[in-house]
Amino acid sequence: MMKKFALVSIASLIFAASINAQETSTAIMKITPPKAEKIAKELKTQSDVRIDNYYWLNNPEDEKVIDYLKEENNYYEEMTANTKKFKVDLFEEMKARIKEDDESVPYKLNGYYYITRFETGKDYPIYTRKKGSLDATEEILFDVNEMAKDHSYYNLSGLNVSEDNKLVSFGVDTLSRRKYDIFIKNIETGEIYPERIPLTTGSATWDSDNKVLFYTRKDEKTLRADRIYRHILGTDPITDELVFTEGDETFGTYVYKTKSKKFIVIGCYSTLTSEYRVLESNNPMGEFKIFQLRERGLEYSISHYENNWYVLTNKDKALNFKLMKTSEGKTSKENWVDMIPHRTDVLLEDIDIFKDYLVVSERNNGLTQIRIKKWDGKEDYYLPFDNETYTAYSSQNPEFDTKILRYGYNSLNTPASVIDFNMETKEKTVLKETEVLGGKFDKNNYETERLWATASDGTKIPMSVIYRKGIKKDGKNPLLIYGYGSYGATIDPYFSTVRLSLLDRGFIFAIAHVRGGEYMGRQWYEDGKLLKKKNTFTDFIDASKYLIAEGYTSKEHLYASGGSAGGLLMGAIANMAPELYNGIIASVPFVDVVTTMLDDSIPLTTGEYDEWGNPNEVEYYNYMKSYSPYDNVEVKAYPNMLVTTGLHDSQVQYWEPAKWVAKLRDLKTDNNILLLQTNMDAGHGGASGRFEALKEVAMDYAFLLDLEGIKK
């Protein structure tokens, strides 16, 4: 169980860090790290030649590659042998805060209440439903614990129940490669039908008559979702009809049914452009009609209500998006009429349609706002929130004819709540607040702040920060700063039970809301991609410098972490400002930017050109090369580093972090720790199962705490 440390204990532990670090350093210097063989390969692009000595690691079929990864794993185990028990203790501590026999708040759909529950000692969910009333007999749709028992990895996804409530389609991935097989189950009999549809996204949608299933297939090599098929129940999937192919390699496609249930929709997407096709769901054998032809730079999404379409779009240079309206029969853009106009200071993120109300999710000055408008125009108001570091979002609202809006709320020091809000009476009911077990958590013991650092170009960079009350800003506190900053993805300030294991041991935690996300609106994203990508990195560095200057921490106690595109951020700051950090954790990091973006056979590459640029063009090639972490490793000192990856990762291939670590080992001049840990069974999302993932967090935290000399 976790101990509650008094401030004097925390100070003592930190004071001892340098002595413990010296002892650890003496012991680990006797362990020899793996040394990857150098096999020079010339990579020619434009008139430029790069030499890649570790390109040979790009071959998972080569036994030598697997042997090298295992050597690195063995080295990791040897180097962290002193924290082996600590990792177990941290895992048990984090697990002990989680209610094992837990269940979700029921939501109602088409006459049934759907519930996901967990049982004590089991890693996977049990999906259930009850007809008409929560007092009705429980029907078990899926016990994933039984389904997963013969697999080291198992992911059930994309559950979709037919309108007659008798059938459910679902996707299964047992490799963590995000290649799902779709199956169909008869809920009444429990029979899983023999038709198995391979190489899909896992999601599917039914027609109105419950006889036709539409789904998306992936390209075998690139894993791009590029084809929509029509499957007739009871037939061999080999005979399924191809109804749409996305021929542009920079686009992906998907299919879904509108909340009104009237239309099946095929969506096509790229970073900058979208396009939709629609078909009435009671005419599944018909032809899809284009809603609005794609135009580069035109983004839009569609929602259906009565005889109209509501279009969320950036049309007419609406950078922060606006809401427009058009009739069913006139869907092209010249017929769209403004409903909520564009605002320069408010990002329009999403809408949710009900019979009597329109709910709008907005972002203003970094904070989410939920706006409620009555269709008849008689009411227009915002839900009140009284915190400056909170997260709020519209939750599961599949029912159309209801006055109840379900939304979620949490903050850095407030556990997640599920709330039902009556849009007519304005009464709210907290249905559930996540329990933090152990009897030791009290939100009032933690202080939260929103800070603003000044970037090198004068831009104010927001940060969300949490720490235990009573901490002195004397530069001696260990601090973990986290960042992402790509794809317009915003990392809101969220509550985490596992993070308490750091906070209660004296750590401060900060989220840097750097450019490349949309925390401060769409322009925030535009200023952190393509030829402005370096703003993401310098924002993070400037945020780090601010925390040091203001006494929250110091260079000796500052740590950084990020994963995937956030791992790219970690690689960039390691090259650009290694002296600022005592340690860095880079999870599944995208670090070999140039080589990956030049290889259009790698999954997802072509769809990334609008995010990073196309390196086949000289300007983008040179810019990418100037920040790509792998290409910019130098002969110099680097911080202590833990790098993690998954052998089956389909988004950032394992060889990127493997090559990066090999090159760092060869060139770095320090004696700091450098570790590569490869999960040989998992992919981009890490281990499956509710508690297995905690072991990976415990691994990260043990790395940080050990560097601070905190041993228990």
Task: Tell me the residue ranges of DSSP E strands in 193-288.
Answer: 197-206, 212-218, 225-232, 241-245, 252-257, 263-269, 274-280
pLDDT of 16: 36
Q: Report the alpha-carbon distance of residue 259 to residue 303 in Å, rounded.
A: 8
The Cβ of residue 206 has, within 10 Å, a number of other Cβ atoms equal to: 25
Q: CB-based contacts of 201: which residues, under 8 Å, 6+ apart?
A: 158, 171, 178, 180, 215, 216, 218, 225, 254
Exactly one of 649, 650, 688, 700 is catalytic; which is it? 649
Exactly one of 274, 411, 561, 564 is catalytic; which is it? 564
pLDDT of 25: 47
Active site residue 649: yes
Where the chain has pLDDT below 50, the residues are 1-26
Looking at residue 606, its amino acid is T
Pairing label, strands 289-292, 300-305 = unpaired
pLDDT of 220: 87
Q: Report the alpha-carbon distance of residue 542 to residue 517 in Å, rounded.
A: 16
pLDDT of 604: 63
Positive or negative: CA dihedral 343, 349, 351, 352: negative
Classify residue 415 as exposed, middle or buried by CB count within 10 Å of its CB (0-12, 13-18, 19+): middle
Give Cα 320 to chain centroid, integer Å: 22
* Nearest residue to 223 via CA among 652, 591, 629: 652
Summarised one tens digit per residue, pLDDT across range 362-412 is 999 999 999 999 999 999 999 999 788 899 999 989 988 999 999 999 999
Positive or negative: CA dihedral 568, 450, 696, 128: negative
Exactly one of 464, 504, 684, 688 is catalytic; which is it? 684
Q: Please check whether residue 208 is in contact with residue 195, taking contact to mean a CB–CB distance below 8 angstroms.
A: no
Maximum Cα–Cα distance for the chain, whole Å? Answer: 75
CA atoms within 13 A on the CB side of 454: 4
pLDDT of 691: 82
pLDDT of 532: 98
Helix (H) or strand (E) segment spanning residue 664: helix 655-667
Looking at residue 17, its amino acid is A
Distances (CA, A) of 459 to 271, 330, 464: 25, 43, 16
Q: Report the alpha-carbon distance of residue 630 to residue 634 in Å, rounded.
A: 9
Q: CB-based contacts of 475: which residues, under 8 Å, 6+ apart?
A: 548, 551, 552, 553, 554, 557
Active site residue 557: no
Distances (CA, A) of 413 to 87, 383, 408, 410, 462: 24, 20, 15, 8, 18
pLDDT of 5: 25
3-state class (DSSP) for residue 682: coil
pLDDT of 692: 82
pLDDT of 237: 96
Q: Report the alpha-carbon distance of residue 300 to residue 265 in Å, rounded.
A: 13
Q: In the sheet where 308-313 sits, what is the strand order? A: 300-305, 308-313, 322-327, 337-340
Classify residue 643 as exposed, middle or buried by CB count within 10 Å of its CB (0-12, 13-18, 19+): buried
Q: Which residues pair with 322 in a beta bridge?
A: 313
Q: Please check whether residue 638 is in contact with residue 664, taking contact to mean a CB–CB distance below 8 angstroms.
A: yes
Give Cα 211 to chain centroid, integer Å: 34
Q: Report the alpha-carbon distance of residue 211 to residue 214 in Å, rounded.
A: 10
pLDDT of 347: 97
Q: CB-based contacts of 586: which residues, under 8 Å, 6+ apart?
A: 561, 562, 563, 567, 570, 571, 574, 641, 642, 643, 644, 657
Helices H / strands E in the chain, number of each: 14, 37
pLDDT of 3: 29
Q: Report the alpha-carbon distance of residue 583 to residue 707 in Å, rounded.
A: 8
Distances (CA, A) of 30 to 24, 78, 639, 663: 11, 11, 19, 21
CA atoms within 13 A on the CB side of 619: 5
pLDDT of 271: 86
Q: Report the alpha-carbon distance of residue 491 to residue 565 in Å, rounded.
A: 13
3-state class (DSSP) for residue 502: helix
Summarised one tens digit per residue, pLDDT across range 578-634 is 999 999 999 999 999 999 999 877 766 777 888 999 999 999 999 999 999 999 999
Instruction: Output 270-274 pairs: Cβ under 8 A, ≥24 positions apart.
Output: 270/607, 270/610, 271/487, 271/607, 271/608, 271/609, 271/610, 271/611, 272/296, 272/297, 272/299, 272/610, 273/297, 273/298, 273/299, 274/298, 274/299, 274/300, 274/301
Q: In the sheet where 252-257 sits, what is the strand order? A: 252-257, 263-269, 274-280, 289-292
- All domains of the chain, ordered by start, with CATH? 7-96+439-707 (3.40.50.1820), 106-150 (no CATH), 195-433 (2.130.10.120)
